[in-house]
């Protein structure tokens, strides 16, 4: 997707819409494509993510495949948002049916909701996937565009604070060694060659002193750690990204608040002081 990132560098954004009190108007266009899963590519993805052998698709894989459609959505001439500089804040994924990897997926991507944020505007990109006319998968990516707008919004509620669990005992389940080339490996798999993930020099051009891991890599890899000894199937997961994972580094994956319905998971630094991601998984 070098072509899309090249376009992003030269895309002109009408910032007047972002500076108004009212939410910016989003283009209604739906971008669609039939996606056929390549078995070799999926096997490479599973190997990278350490996904346990299962007949069930990794819940994050289809959203990764839809990235070109998401970029087309962001590059729409009527989109008020820049592509470069966006902050990926949250993910909400629902597995609504049996995703058959041997059959094609009809994927549809469009803009969803837009909300005021205390640092600018937060907006959603919605992916829906269909097989044989039935919706089997839905994923919502939420992004923040920082701007000094006139609107005022309360500080967003942390995913951690939504827990009503009685037993919040933390159980470490994995320590991940995130190597310096993690961003380049994932870029090769996903096509997401955002410069902040590749090299120290390209990351510095966008304000990072080191390259950072893709949030989607952190989500997918930590989910694999959770599911390594889990026999239940995931029906829904929600995550919020707290702070970037710099490359290289080590991170801890910890679960807590587990019951028959689901579990909470956090990804933190190796000293377990700062959280990189919080995730809620429902079975």
User: Where a domain ends, among 105, 124, 156?
Assistant: 156
Inter-CA distances, 40 with 36, 102, 124, 244, Å: 12, 12, 31, 30
Least confident range of 96-105, 167-176, 177-186: 167-176
Asked if 99 and 137 touch (Cβ cutoff 8 Å), the reply is yes
Per-residue pLDDT at 264 exceeds 90: yes
Give the neighbor-by-neighbor strand order of the sheet with 105-117.
Answer: 31-35, 105-117, 120-131, 134-146, 87-95, 236-241, 275-282, 262-269, 249-256, 171-178
**Would you state the pLDDT for residue 167?**
62
Q: What are phi and psi of 50, to 5 degrees?
A: 60, 35
SS3 39: helix
pTM: 0.90
- Burial code (b: 16+ CB inside 10 Å, e: under 16) for 82-121 equals bbeebbebbbbbbbeeebeeeeebbbbbbbeebebbebbb
pLDDT tens digit string along 52-83? 877 689 999 999 999 999 999 999 988 988 87
User: Where a domain ends, among 102, 133, 156?
Assistant: 156
Cα–Cα distance for residue pair 31/38, rounded to 1 Å? 21
Domain count, the chain: 2
Query: Residue 31: which domain range?
Result: 1-156
Residues 67 and 88 in one domain: yes
Residues 120 and 185 in one domain: no
Residues 26 and 131 in one domain: yes
Residues 142 and 169 in one domain: no
Residues 125 and 162 in one domain: no
Q: What is the CATH number of the domain that holds 183?
A: 3.10.129.10
Residues 40 and 93 in one domain: yes
Residues 120 and 21 in one domain: yes
Residues 85 and 36 in one domain: yes
**Would you state the pLDDT for residue 83?**
79
Per-residue pLDDT at 22 exceeds 90: no
Query: Which residues, 6+ apart, have CB-to-CB distance to 68 below 8 Å?
Result: 1, 4, 33, 191
Q: Is the dihedral of CA 263, 234, 212, 107 positive or negative?
A: negative
Residues 193 and 280 in one domain: yes
Cα–Cα distance for residue pair 64/48, rounded to 1 Å? 13
Per-residue pLDDT at 211 exceeds 60: yes
> Is the peptide bond prior to 49 cis by the omega test (within 30 degrees of 0)?
no
Residues 202 and 240 in one domain: yes
Residues 7 and 72 in one domain: yes
Q: What are phi and psi of 256, to 5 degrees?
A: -160, 170
């Amino acid at each position: 997707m070098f072509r899309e990132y090249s376009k992003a560098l030269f895309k002109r954004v009408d910032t007047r819409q972002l500076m108004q009190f009212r939410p910016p108007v989003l283009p209604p266009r739906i971008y669609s494509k039939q996606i056929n899963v390549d078995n070799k590519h999926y096997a490479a993805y599973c190997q990278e993510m350490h996904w346990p052998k299962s007949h069930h698709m990794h819940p994050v894989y289809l959203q990764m495949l839809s990235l070109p459609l998401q970029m087309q959505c962001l590059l729409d001439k009527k989109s008020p948002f820049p592509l470069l500089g966006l902050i990926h804040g949250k993910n909400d994924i629902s597995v609504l049916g049996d995703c058959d990897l041997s059959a094609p997926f009809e994927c549809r991507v469009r803009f969803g909701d837009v909300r005021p944020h205390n640092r600018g505007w937060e907006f959603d990109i919605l992916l829906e996937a269909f097989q044989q006319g039935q919706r089997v998968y839905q994923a919502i990516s939420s992004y923040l565009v920082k701007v000094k707008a006139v609107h005022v919004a309360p500080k967003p509620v942390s995913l951690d604070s939504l827990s009503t669990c009685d037993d919040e005992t933390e159980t470490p389940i994995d320590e991940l060694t995130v190597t310096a080339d993690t961003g380049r490996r994932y870029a090769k798999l996903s096509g997401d060659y955002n410069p902040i993930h590749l090299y120290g020099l390209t990351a510095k051009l966008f304000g990072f002193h080191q390259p950072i891991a893709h949030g989607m890599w952190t989500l997918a890899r930590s989910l694999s750690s959770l599911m390594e000894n889990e026999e239940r199937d995931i029906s829904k997961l929600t995550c919020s990204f707290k702070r970037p994972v710099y490359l290289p580094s080590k991170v801890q994956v910890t679960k807590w608040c587990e019951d028959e319905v689901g579990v909470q998971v956090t990804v933190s630094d190796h000293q377990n002081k700062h959280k990189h991601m919080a995730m809620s998984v429902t079975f």
